């Protein structure tokens, strides 16, 4: 019994759990469950695991993704003939090493070659590479191994392995053994090494190999598996996985670049040796907690994934040996099964509690691990997406590796690492526990992740593991990801530079410019032009009137004005009194105006007559400019001492309660902002700055004072021009504007080639596609992306965007005298690539909210890092991640993450893809819930000037660039998108989509003969359905991956064209496939030329040419 216990202890986690589960059940195997050689002599069917790989190979043929490559460096007197004979012994012993897959009319089967077949008789191919010389030997060996590892197999041509022996020098060889996963797995590698060692020893000593006869072959197992997984056994397993995976979503590992529309397999791997003492510490914690080291390592990995994704419902895959029958222990073959492990991390559990959860999850999963992965997918029915593996893209595995590798007599044999240049998943995390210590290996998809990102994950994993081993009571969010040194670096390295700021109020800084150049043009508004001196004097006259009405430091004056010079004059006048101005847009609803005025309690409201008529209530505090001539007022300076710490303006933004909240910004913040922008943009008095933004938005502050505090010209855009793109373009050209800050929706409609004087193009406030940058980033234009909440004075994070961009650029780094930290829920800085909340602070930070001290205390907190001069930071509520160059990437709102069918979607990514469609000028993508409660994405588009937009074409264009789950369900074309007064898309004014227009249902019958054939003779036949609509999603109505391969075979037979399986996955519907079939059937120009050539031939010549085309040109 003790020997059995020892043997059980050596089993992998999954197999041990399954074995114990069988023991606990107390029931012996029924007779039909016994694994014995099959009676049939014909070819065996594929196992379920083999079927999956057959399907994947059909989807992406000619790839080495599932090559299993091993390299063995052999030093000593190798007997190459004996090695060849030893390998032939294994080939004769294991049918899998003589197997190819055959696609027959009854299905795909295993075809086993005879032992004397020439294809398996010559077991080892020898390559003499010794001429490379000793200096180049190692590089030669690496290149040779990598090249052989990356040669793909053709699954229908056996054998599905090869052995290449490179002679590198005298008594120095490299054996590269490559085999396809469809006949081999990780367990098989151990069997292969052990048996090849025994066979080589027998061949070199003349003794018989000590190899027991195999009780069964892999074909016996495949047939047994299919008999077993029926009836109650299948139903019980299926019910468990269906319930376990209900509502599960993909682990959204942050990627370094946009996800390709289809799964790719390009990859590599990185390794890291863990500190030696950690192996014993893991084992100790596992023993004390009643779990295995596998559970400890998996729990640490899930903790790391949670911290990188923010998800608390995580699904990762794990391989299980799936060799619960003793008959399979010594068999080479593909038995491994992939199981999805779904773990709940809600509630911020301690690591000790997480061990309990992970232990329960793994025990249950392994106890039900007999159901093949393809069947798990079938019962779970996740939404199929060609850009992702089903259910999970991240895999975790632990291997207990003993020193029992290949042994060839007294030769020095060492296993070499081979890089096949592939990755089967987004990230495969492998923990190898060896006698010398623990090794981490991360295999990753290089189309998604950079090596620097994965290297950081390896370091963070060790750091987290060390922390939780020292203190298992640490919570999931409390375990540190960063070392003390890295933490300090993240807090200090990426902050804005220090820049001197004059200790001046805004009017004092403006008056400096007046004195420096009084007769220079300061303001242009339509036909009216004011010099700095004229503007100053007009502001002084109005300021005296305002003082008489109570304007003073600490008070507020509301402005409700059209976009005329009066607006700028009034702002300056209020600031000269020491009061703060409060803009109230005359286009606001009455209730909104009333809410702002009631909260701001201004001493007076300055308004034009028609604006005053729209003000709420019967207000006696209104100063109507049209009725109050100020020409008689003294136009000299007022001499009021305005402090840089006085409030300059109050801007109202939307609040979570529905009531607007007033943000207080002080004079020094405005002056500091202009100093930073002047340094960044190289502003001079020669610049002409466009004044486009509404005074209700702080962009207007930047436009106005970047000009007026620099001595440049401010060109105020009249109301009638702001939303007329043609007039706006004309104004930009005529006035030779050099700096603009415009919303993306407006910028997309302008023509950059007609604006040679434009130097600076600034965009901020919302995401935009890289194509917008590319259109403007030429002919001397400098393009900037920026970010800044109202609470931080216009903009405080900026990124210049040189070159060409495939996607929306980052928002950048803090400007001078500002800081930006990315933190978790505990206000701890997070590593590169990890999504966290953005905390900002510095010169531009708000004093707080008017009359809302509790809200101020909630949003403006004490700086826990000591990184700001005033000791304060602001909670933006925005989620960002930091790239390795320090720049910040905007992810979304902390409280407004869009999820569609369980998958998180960034609307900006969808908008960026849709915006690249030819003819599209404006795009807005929004979530929408239909009358049945289903949530969809809706893409609203408007054509560019002179263009027409076809919704079907936009859908096809978007679908070609994005994963299926990100493609909007509805595409609505409008003449133009509605805009708010600030020039942004007004989402509330977008019309609801027509539920019958975007997503067709199963009732849509075939409309063409091709659609009829596909619906009735292909889809319905494969799925065994009476009727299939042309827009029905194949997988949504019960299809699976294997049936998809069958469908494509049947399609080829019925339609006589071969459509790539990957094309089917882009849109698995009758309508899409019918289009593809008809397109392939349409003769091309080359086809027409060929037909014309044949028609010109005689019948005999044509017959000879068409019958013997492959022999043309032979003598």
Indicate if the pLDDT at residue 999 is higher than 80.
no
Q: What is the pLDDT of residue 603?
A: 97
Per DSSP, helices labelled H in 823-946 are 853-859, 907-915
Q: What is the pLDDT of residue 189?
A: 93
Q: What is the pLDDT of residue 1085?
A: 43
Indicate if the pLDDT at residue 897 is higher than 50.
no
- Mean pLDDT of the 1018-1037 span: 81
How many whole angstroms separate alpha carbon 1078 and alpha carbon 1089? 20
Which has the closest alpha carbon to 421: 444, 402, 400, 441?
444
Indicate if the pLDDT at residue 593 is higher than 80.
yes
E strand or H helix that includes residue 397:
strand 394-400
Instruction: Specify the fold of 41-214.
Output: Chloramphenicol Acetyltransferase (3.30.559)
Average pLDDT, the chain: 87
- Beta-strand pair 437-445/427-434: antiparallel
How many whole angstroms separate alpha carbon 913 and alpha carbon 908? 9
Q: What is the pLDDT of residue 135?
A: 79
| 471 neighbors 297 (Cβ within 8 angstroms) | no
DSSP string, 241-295: HHHHTTT-----PPPSSPPPSS---BEEEEEEEPPHHHHHHHHHHHHHHT--HHH
Indicate if the pLDDT at residue 232 is higher than 50.
yes
How many whole angstroms separate alpha carbon 267 and alpha carbon 783? 34
Indicate the SS3 state at residue 695: coil
How many whole angstroms separate alpha carbon 315 and alpha carbon 341? 5
Angle ∠(166,171,174) on CA atoms, nearest 5: 25
Q: What is the pLDDT of residue 1083?
A: 61
Which carries the bigger pLDDT value, residue 159 or residue 60? Answer: 159
Q: What is the pLDDT of residue 1003?
A: 55
- Residue 1105's pLDDT band, with cuts at 50, 70 and 90, is very low
Indicate if the pLDDT at residue 221 is higher than 80.
yes
Please give the structure tokens belonging to residue 1068.
Answer: 């698995």
- Mean pLDDT of the 796-822 span: 94
Give tens-digit pLDDT for 652-679: 986 545 478 999 999 999 999 999 999 9
Which carries the bigger pLDDT value, residue 808 or residue 870? Answer: 870
Lowest mean pLDDT among 85-99, 207-221, 542-556, 898-912: 898-912
Indicate if the pLDDT at residue 91 is higher than 90.
yes
Q: Where are the domains of the chain?
A: 41-214, 222-307+321-405+423-491, 897-998, 1009-1081
| 695 neighbors 562 (Cβ within 8 angstroms) | no
Residue in the block written with tokens 């083999």: 50
* pLDDT over 90, % of the chain: 62
Which carries the bigger pLDDT value, residue 175 or residue 1069? Answer: 175
Indicate the SS3 state at residue 38: coil
Task: Return phi, psi of residue 973, to 5°.
Answer: -100, 125
Q: Name 94's Cβ contacts closer than 8 Å, sequence gap at least 6.
A: 214, 217, 218, 331, 332, 333
Give tens-digit pLDDT for 483-523: 889 999 999 999 999 999 999 999 999 999 999 999 999 99
The residues with which 741 forms a beta bridge, in sequence order, are 762
Indicate if the pLDDT at residue 525 is higher than 90.
yes
- Mean pLDDT of the 769-789 span: 91
Per DSSP, helices labelled H in 767-852 are 770-776
- Residue 981's pLDDT band, with cuts at 50, 70 and 90, is low
Give tens-digit pLDDT for 17-49: 555 555 444 444 444 468 899 887 789 999 999
Residue in the block written with tokens 């007076």: 604
| 412 neighbors 74 (Cβ within 8 angstroms) | yes
Please give the structure tokens belonging to residue 189.
Answer: 């590698």
Angle ∠(84,88,93) on CA atoms, nearest 5: 155
Report residue 1031 CA to chain centroid gap: 28
Please give the structure tokens belonging to residue 118.
Answer: 């020439």
Q: Which of 820-829, 939-948, 981-990, 1047-1056 has the highest mean pLDDT?
A: 820-829
The DSSP code for 315 is E
CA dist 729 → 719, 753, 766 (Å): 14, 11, 22
Q: Buried b vs exposed e over 448-463: b needs ≥16 C-beta within 10 Å?
A: bbbeebbebbbbbbbb
* pLDDT over 70, % of the chain: 89
The residues with which 525 forms a beta bridge, in sequence order, are 528
Lowest mean pLDDT among 253-257, 303-307, 821-825, 1111-1115: 1111-1115
Please give the structure tokens belonging to residue 522.
Answer: 């300061």
Indicate the SS3 state at residue 308: helix
How many whole angstroms separate alpha carbon 1068 and alpha carbon 1055? 17
Count the neighbouring beta carbons within 10 Å of the beta carbon of residue 43: 17
Q: What is the pLDDT of residue 237?
A: 96
- Residue 1056's pLDDT band, with cuts at 50, 70 and 90, is confident
Give tens-digit pLDDT for 140-195: 999 999 999 999 999 999 899 999 999 999 899 999 999 999 999 999 999 999 99
Using only the alpha carbons of the chain, give its radius of gyration: 36
Q: What is the pLDDT of residue 30?
A: 45
How many whole angstroms separate alpha carbon 568 and alpha carbon 713? 12
The residues with which 784 forms a beta bridge, in sequence order, are 762, 800
Q: What is the pLDDT of residue 1053?
A: 84
Please give the structure tokens belonging to residue 708.
Answer: 């007026």
CATH 3.30.559.30 fits 222-307+321-405+423-491, yes or no: yes
How many whole angstroms separate alpha carbon 758 and alpha carbon 741? 11
Whether the upstream peptide bond of residue 349 has omega within 30° of 0, thus cis, is no
Q: What is the pLDDT of residue 27?
A: 43
- Residue 589's pLDDT band, with cuts at 50, 70 and 90, is confident
CATH 1.10.1200.10 fits 1009-1081, yes or no: yes
Which has the closest alpha carbon to 958: 946, 969, 947, 944?
969
Report residue 447 CA to chain centroid gap: 11
Which has the closest alpha carbon to 674: 707, 714, 642?
707
DSSP string, 748-765: TTS-GGG-TT--EEEEES
Lowest mean pLDDT among 165-174, 434-443, 898-907: 898-907
Residue in the block written with tokens 């003794």: 207
Indicate if the pLDDT at residue 385 is higher than 50.
yes
Lowest mean pLDDT among 540-549, 740-749, 845-854: 740-749
**Identical fold between 41-214 and 222-307+321-405+423-491:** yes
- Mean pLDDT of the 739-755 span: 91
Q: Which CATH superfamily does the domain covering 897-998 fall into?
A: ANL, C-terminal domain (3.30.300.30)
How many whole angstroms separate alpha carbon 307 and alpha carbon 994? 40
How many whole angstroms separate alpha carbon 383 and alpha carbon 392? 12
pTM exceeds 0.75: no
Which has the closest alpha carbon to 229: 329, 110, 379?
379
Which carries the bigger pLDDT value, residue 1091 or residue 415? Answer: 415
Indicate if the pLDDT at residue 286 is higher than 50.
yes
Lowest mean pLDDT among 208-212, 650-654, 913-917, 1033-1037: 1033-1037
Q: What is the pLDDT of residue 132?
A: 82
């Amino acid at each position: 019994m003790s020997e059995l216990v020892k043997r059980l202890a050596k089993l992998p986690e999954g197999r041990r759990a399954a074995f114990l589960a069988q023991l606990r059940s107390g029931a012996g195997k029924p007779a039909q469950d016994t694994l014995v050689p099959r009676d049939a002599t014909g070819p065996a069917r594929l196992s379920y695991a083999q079927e999956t790989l057959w399907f994947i190979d059909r989807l992406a043929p000619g790839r080495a993704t599932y090559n299993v490559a091993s390299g063995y460096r052999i030093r000593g007197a190798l007997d190459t003939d004996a090695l060849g004979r030893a390998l032939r012994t294994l080939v004769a012993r294991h049918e899998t090493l003589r197997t190819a897959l055959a696609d027959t009319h009854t299905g795909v089967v295993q075809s086993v070659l005879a032992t004397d077949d020439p294809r398996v008789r010559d077991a080892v191919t020898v390559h003499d590479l010794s001429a490379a010389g000793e200096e180049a030997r190692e590089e030669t060996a690496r290149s040779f191994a990598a090249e052989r590892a990356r040669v793909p197999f053709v699954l229908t041509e056996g054998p599905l392995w090869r052995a290449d022996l490179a002679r590198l020098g005298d008594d120095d060889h490299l054996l590269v053994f490559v085999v396809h996963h469809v006949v081999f797995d990780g367990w098989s590698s151990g069997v292969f090494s052990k048996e090849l060692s025994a066979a080589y020893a027998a061949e070199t000593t003349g003794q018989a190999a000590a190899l027991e006869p195999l009780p069964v072959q892999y074909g016996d197992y495949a047939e047994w598996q299919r008999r077993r997984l029926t009836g109650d056994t299948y139903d019980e397993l299926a019910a468990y996985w269906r319930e376990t995976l209900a509502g599960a979503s993909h682990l959204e590992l942050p990627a370094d670049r946009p996800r390709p529309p289809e799964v790719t397999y390009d990859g590599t791997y990185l390794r890291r040796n863990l500190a030696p003492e950690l192996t014993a510490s893991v084992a100790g914690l596992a023993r004390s907690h009643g779990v295995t080291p596998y559970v400890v390592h998996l729990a640490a990995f899930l903790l790391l994934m949670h911290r990188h994704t923010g998800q608390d419902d995580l699904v990762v895959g794990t391989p299980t040996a799936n060799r619960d029958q003793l008959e399979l222990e010594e068999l080479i073959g593909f038995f491994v099964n992939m199981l999805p492990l779904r773990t709940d991390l809600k509630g911020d559990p301690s690591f000790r509690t997480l061990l309990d959860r992970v232990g329960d999850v793994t025990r249950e999963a392994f106890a039900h691990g007999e159901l093949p992965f393809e069947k798990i997918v079938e019962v779970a029915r996740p939404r199929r997406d060609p850009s992702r593996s089903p259910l999970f893209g991240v895999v975790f595995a632990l291997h207990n590796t003993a020193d029992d590798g290949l042994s060839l007599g007294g030769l020095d044999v060492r296993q070499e690492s081979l890089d096949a240049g592939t990755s089967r998943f987004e990230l495969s995390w492998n923990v190898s526990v060896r006698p010398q210590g623990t090794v981490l290996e991360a295999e990753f998809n290089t189309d998604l992740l950079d090596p620097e990102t994965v290297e950081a994950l390896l370091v963070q994993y060790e750091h987290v593991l060390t922390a939780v081993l020292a203190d298992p009571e640490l919570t999931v969010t409390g375990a540190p990801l960063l070392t003390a040194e890295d933490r300090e670096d993240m807090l200090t390295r990426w902050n804005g530079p220090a820049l001197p700021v004059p200790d001046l109020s805004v009017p004092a800084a403006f008056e400096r410019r007046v004195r420096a150049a009084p007769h220079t043009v300061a303001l242009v508004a339509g036909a009216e032009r004011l010099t700095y001196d004229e503007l100053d004097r007009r502001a002084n006259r109005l300021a005296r009137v305002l003082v008489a009405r109570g304007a003073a430091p600490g008070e507020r004056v509301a402005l409700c004005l059209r976009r005329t010079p009066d607006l700028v004059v009034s702002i300056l006048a209020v600031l000269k009194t020491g009061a703060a101005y409060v803009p109230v847009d005359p286009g606001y609803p009455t209730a909104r105006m009333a809410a702002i005025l009631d909260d701001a309690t201004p001493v007076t409201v300055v308004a034009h007559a028609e604006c005053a008529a729209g003000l709420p209530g019967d207000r006696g505090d209104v100063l109507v400019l049209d009725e109050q001539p100020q020409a008689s007022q003294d136009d000299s300076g007022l001499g009021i001492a305005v402090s840089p710490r006085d409030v300059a303006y109050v801007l109202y933004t939307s609040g979570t309660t529905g009531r607007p909240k007033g943000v207080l910004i002080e004079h020094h913040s405005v002056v500091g902002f202009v100093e930073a922008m002047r340094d960044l943009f190289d502003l001079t008095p020669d610049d002409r700055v466009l004044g486009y933004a509404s005074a209700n938005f702080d962009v207007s502050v930047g436009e106005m004072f970047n000009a007026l505090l620099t001595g440049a010209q401010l060109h105020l855009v009249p109301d009638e021009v702001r939303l007329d793109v043609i007039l706006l373009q004309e104004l930009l050209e005529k006035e030779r504007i050099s700096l603009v800050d415009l919303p993306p929706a407006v910028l997309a409609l302008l023509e950059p080639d007609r604006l040679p004087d434009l130097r600076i193009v600034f965009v901020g406030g919302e995401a935009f596609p890289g194509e917008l940058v590319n259109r403007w980033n030429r002919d001397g234009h400098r393009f900037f992306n920026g970010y800044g909440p109202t609470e931080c004075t216009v903009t405080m994070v900026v990124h210049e965007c040189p070159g060409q961009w495939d996607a929306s650029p980052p928002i950048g780094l803090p400007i001078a005298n500002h800081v930006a930290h990315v933190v978790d829920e505990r206000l701890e800085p997070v590593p590169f690539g990890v999504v966290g909340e953005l905390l900002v602070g510095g010169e531009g930070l708000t004093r707080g909210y008017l009359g809302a001290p509790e809200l101020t205390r909630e949003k403006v907190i004490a700086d826990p890092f000591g990184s700001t001069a005033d000791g304060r930071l602001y909670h933006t509520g925005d989620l960002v991640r930091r790239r390795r160059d320090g720049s910040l990437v905007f992810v979304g709102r902390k409280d407004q993450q869009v999820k569609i069918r369980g998958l998180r979607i960034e609307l900006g990514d969808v908008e960026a893809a849709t915006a690249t469609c030819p003819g599209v000028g404006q795009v807005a993508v929004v979530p929408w819930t239909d009358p049945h409660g289903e949530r969809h994405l809706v893409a609203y588009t408007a054509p560019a000037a002179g263009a027409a937009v076809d919704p079907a074409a936009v859908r096809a264009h978007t679908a070609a660039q994005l994963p299926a789950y990100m493609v909007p369900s509805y595409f609505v074309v409008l003449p133009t998108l509605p805009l708010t007064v600030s020039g942004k898309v007004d989402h509330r004014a977008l019309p609801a989509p027509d539920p019958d227009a975007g997503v067709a249902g199963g009732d849509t019958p075939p409309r063409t003969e091709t659609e009829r054939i596909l619906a009735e003779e292909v889809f319905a036949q494969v799925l065994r359905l009476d009727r299939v609509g042309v827009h029905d999603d194949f997988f949504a109505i019960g299809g699976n991956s294997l049936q998809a391969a069958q469908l494509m075979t049947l399609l080829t037979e019925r339609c006589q064209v071969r459509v790539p399986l990957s094309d089917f996955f882009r849109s698995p519907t009758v309508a899409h496939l019918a289009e593809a079939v008809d397109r392939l059937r349409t003769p091309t120009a080359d086809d027409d030329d060929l037909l014309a050539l044949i028609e010109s031939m005689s019948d005999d010549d044509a017959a000879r040419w068409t019958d013997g085309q492959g022999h043309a040109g032979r003598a």
